[in-house]
Amino acid sequence: MVSIPTPRPSGLASRLRPVRVATIATLTSHRAVVVAVADALAWLPAVAAGALLATDLHLTVPEASSLLGLTVLAAASQLTVGAATGLYRRRHPRGSLDEARLLLGVVLLVGAVLAAATLVTSPDALPSLVPSPLGVGTPLAATVVAFLLTGGARAAARGLRERAERPAAGAARTVVFGAGQASASFVATMLRDRRSPWLPVALLDDDERLRRLSVRSVPVLGTRHDVAEVARRTGASVLVIAVASPPAELVQHLRVEAARAGLSLLVIPTVTEMLRDGQRVSDLRQVTAEDIIGRRPLDLDLEAAASYLRGARVLVTGAGGSIGSELCRQIAALAPAELIMLDRDETALQGVQVSIAGHGLLDTDDVVLADIRDAAAIEAVFVARRPEVVFHAAALKHLPMLEQYPAEGWKTNVLGTLNVLRAAQAVGVETFVNVSTDKAANASSALGRSKRLAERLTADAARATGSRYLSVRFGNVLGSRGSMLPLFQGLIEAGRPLTVTDPEATRYFMTIPEACHLVVQAGGIGRPGEVLILDMGEPVKILDIARRLIDLSGRDVEIVFTGLRPGEKLHEELVGDGEHDERPTHPSISHTTVPPLSPAELEPALYAPTVLRVA
């Protein structure tokens, strides 16, 4: 290993750098001194005004002569109390609400000192400071005036600073839909950044009570129906949706209105995107398919439910898939002792390793190349690594393909799951979460039946071990590899017709992060043998999604109806016949059970995969 010495700064640079740091510190100190002196001097007019107000503008000579002593006491108290409370140490941004609260406390304390002084009526008690003619009304009025002067000066300084920091003249004039907290944060961020490419000029909100509201001097000028008129009045070229989790209907309406008005449409990132990807409120993005479908992650308390992962050895099968890879990323952030990523696809493993470790060398023991169909290989991995928690996401998932080749679904989804379950039981795995599908409820396809058998085998492992072996069932995952959305988007890009099975067909949808949140949380809240199901809201028509994607693309794309395929349902179900729906932990997560199925009962059908057509 070659050591490269760090170059030392030149003589001039080494002398200039400390000088620069010292200069910055001196300027900061000088500003604090200026602010402190200004606050102290503000008590001069404040005490004078307080005395005049307290005496109805009839100030006698003895009262006037006592003002000097009261002013000196006020200024000294302001400096002393301000320094003691840290008012001049920049504990809060200048002109902020937090600083205003601290300033109010300081001024009230100073006022209390003055009031106590004026209550001393004996000339011998405090003869040189506050002679008796002034009453307690003077410090009370002076306190109000002092706060108005000191607070007003800070507000004015902040206003001037923000005006100086406004975006440059070339920034795009922007209309912002939403006048709530998300909008206020966005507007404030834009107006504080001179390099911002957006300049907010108007707000829109459907709440008529906000019509006269202004956020950072940006007025509310209308509702969603006034996009074109407000754009014409303000000369705007951009419309930003600044609403937390906007409903699909709102996004679609604003998309149409923006197109009519010739505006570019952007949205602020969601809280989930900011936490997951490190985005900021100002990181605007284009409208996505998820926006027009309207699916937004539910509020699942991942941190509270995932404590079982901290310091544990965790293994994920199918780690290279859409669900498996996101699952690995979420688990890695929860501080496991070891994360073992297992898949039969070496390229997929490299991708997830890059996303977590920052490299794709594939020469470390966090990635394991193995096929769950190979019982001996899976057993060897479990014995060598001895995981404590297992997430089983490896599966074949395409319904039409498994209708053609049910034997493949049998080998992977049934026997592969059995291999993983047996290996887990052999090494004493404490928590096992099997990733299932809504197609396992009242199964009508080879895919659904194979996943139903996997749920039952998992329930039997729970019965045999008494440990937390359970399944998680959810619907279509937006954006997952091979799912409907990327398929439709690819067809649109190629200019080919979109194929929809039936105009009335509906499906449940959820996002990849949301699905993985449920999987992780299931291991913390599920009970042995249960199946957990996320409440995914109302099902969505596939035809509606196709039309919205075509509208979003701006292209003229045909929709072709093909009819339902063998084994496919018109409407999917989440809870099967005879299954109960309990929600003991979270209002959006159902707990149900399935009858256990022992491997011995499965043996007679080992070489008859057609059982998936009739099971």
Indicate which residues carry an active-site annotation: 439
Q: Are 597 and 453 in contact (CB under 8 A)?
A: yes
The structure tokens 């002084």 sit at 117
Torsion of CA 81, 86, 92, 96, to 10 degrees: 10
Instruction: Supply 317's token pair.
Output: 């099968």
Structure tokens at 288: 């996505």
Strands (E) located in 485-578: 498-500, 506-507, 509-511, 530-534, 540-541, 559-561
3-state DSSP call for residue 133? coil
Q: Are 556 and 498 in contact (CB under 8 A)?
A: no
Tokens 């002013």, residue located: 71
Which of 515, 463, 444, 423 is closest to 452 using CA atoms?
Answer: 444
Instruction: List 155's β-bridge partners, or say none.
Output: none
Other C-beta atoms closer than 10 Å to the C-beta of 340 total 23
Handedness of CA 217, 222, 223, 224 (dihedral sign): negative
Beta strands 238-241 and 198-204 are unpaired
Q: Where are the beta strands (DSSP E) in 205-273?
A: 214-215, 218-222, 238-241, 264-267
577 and 594 in contact (C-beta within 8 Å)? no
Structure tokens at 399: 């319904």
Query: Distance between CA atoms of 135 and 61, rounded to whole angstroms?
Result: 14
**3-class secondary structure, 548:** helix
Contact criterion met (CB below 8 Å) for 83 and 36:
yes
What is the Cα–Cα distance from 453 to 434, expressed in whole angstroms?
A: 11
Q: Provide the token pair at 281.
A: 């409120």
Is residue 293 within 8 A of residue 544, CB to CB? The reply is no
d(CA 398, CA 322) in angstroms, rounded, equals: 14
Residues 6+ apart with CB under 8 A from 248: 291, 292, 293, 294, 548
CA dist 129 and 119 (Å) reads 12
